[in-house]
Chain A
Amino acid sequence: MKKPNLSRRTALIASSAAALSLLTGCGAADMTKQASPFANAQGAKTVTLSVQSWVGAQSNAAVAQYLLEHKLGYRVDTVQVDEVPAWDALSQGRVDAILEDWGHPAQEKRYVDDKKTIARAGGLGVTGHIGWYVPTYLVKQHPDITDWRNLDKYASLFRTAESGGKGQLMDGSPSYVTNDKALVNNLKLNYQVVFAGSEAAQITQIKQFAKEEKPFLTYWYAPQWLFKKVPMTEVKLPPYKEGCDADAAKVACAYPHTPLQKYLNAGFSKDGGKAAAFLKKFRWTTEDQNEVSLMIADQKLTPAEAAKKWVDSHESTWKAWLS
């Protein structure tokens, strides 16, 4: 009973493998050049944008999507991917563009300079900055809290169940650039880094703290719409100097100010026609981005509605991108 079955199985596997190769055509199958099965449905030209998990990135994508769809006649798919995998997806052509990158030197070298599968597409016009922040209502009570040397004095204010006996420094998503563990260590602070695990969790917690005006210390970044809801002040860390963050374990300085960059898939950049040209020209300001972000995250408009509102009121800005 065993034998015939096994040979049947082999035959089945062999025949299904044969069928598979027939179906997909013979020869090499390079899956790194393969689009999403949902793309180009019903004969439309499709652009796939990578949307990172933070709202600022959603705003870029929403406005780009709105203009591509309504002014240039494309169909736009968005995929939410974390930063590093997004580079990988971009190099493979699974997505066509990343509109906001916070600096990934290793990936840039690998994909842009060595493999040439990704092309630079200029700056977004927004400058990003990461830092440690405390709520402004706390600064009013303790004005000297914004210097890192005084943080230990206030550690007991920031104690939570998760941080044990130390003060809590809340970090966010695992995908973000952070040196906080090393910083706490190297600056010899009496703090414990607690990872919220996602930005959504971090924002929810910050809002809950702010509702009761409780003290908190958090890793945060600008531009971010949450500043409008919960005013926060940056804590001064030892100043950033070029190269002071070269060795991740020995970092003892603040984070740099990063001009955010756009990247396109190399093939798309060359053959993407109007869409690629538009995305290369796409450039706006921090205020513009925040305006859209706030509509999405706070007024709970859908990204598409928020984009429409912004587009309707900023015609001169986006006209330049289309020319």
Chain B
Amino acid sequence: MDFFFEVLIGGLLAGVMYALVAIGFVLIYKASGVFNFAQGAMVLFSALTFVSLLERGLPFWLAFVLTLAAMVLLALAVERVVLRPLVNRSPITLFMATLGLSYMIEGFAQALWGAQVHGLELGISDEPLAVGGMLLSSFDLFAAATAALLVLVLSLLFSKTRIGLSLRAVADDPVAALAVGIRLQRIWAVVWAVAGFVGLVAGLLWGARLGVQFSLSLIVLKALPVLIIGGFTSISGAIVGGLIIGASEKLAEVYLGPFVGGGIENWFPYVLALLFLLVRPAGLFGERAIERV
């Protein structure tokens, strides 16, 4: 039984890492209705920029600030070059545009900083920690704490600041928000910048875990089932979805994997998400679409 709980908690903590990526999606989807496939590329870009700056001898905080500035610049460019000309197009068109965007960002990141694998040391030891008789990774605990902090900061941003108020207004009803004088385009830029910040945090944690390399951009594929289970429009949904995916993936690998030959964690989250969808087509926390002719 101890083993079961160890796997379960390990999975839950890994799920937090998925949720970190998924939050970036939710922010953008809520504010602009764009399903941003480029979030993974943004994670890669930010982690690669950060680690390359660090390797050039910059102190930690300066590298962080510079990378954040780069993500803001990226957000401004995306709003100006991609979102603005595509305003009022169908969601599928916007999704395909972000596919193109992810190719561009990946190519740019690797052309700028090279394609080799960088190690990233955040100064947290990845040692197993004995908590109540179970072995837990201290790094995972740190990641979970970071995620909690991030969610706290985001909810403060949303509930206490003026820009957060306009973000919520846009998420609620873009047309009404336009009518009361909120500048939609500025909101898009802000939201992409915030998603870039979330991507940076996710990139640092994932980079410290896996090494900063191209496969970071593939975690977008891990985040997709998380989003589906949680619903596209809810940050708490992203967290819950991440926890569900993380825990069930690990449990399935341990208890189900041996029967089918292992390696099922690539597709298991998708099948799980599919089962969830068949019961609740808009995810756990998603808004139910009302269809009219």
A and B: bona fide binding partners: no
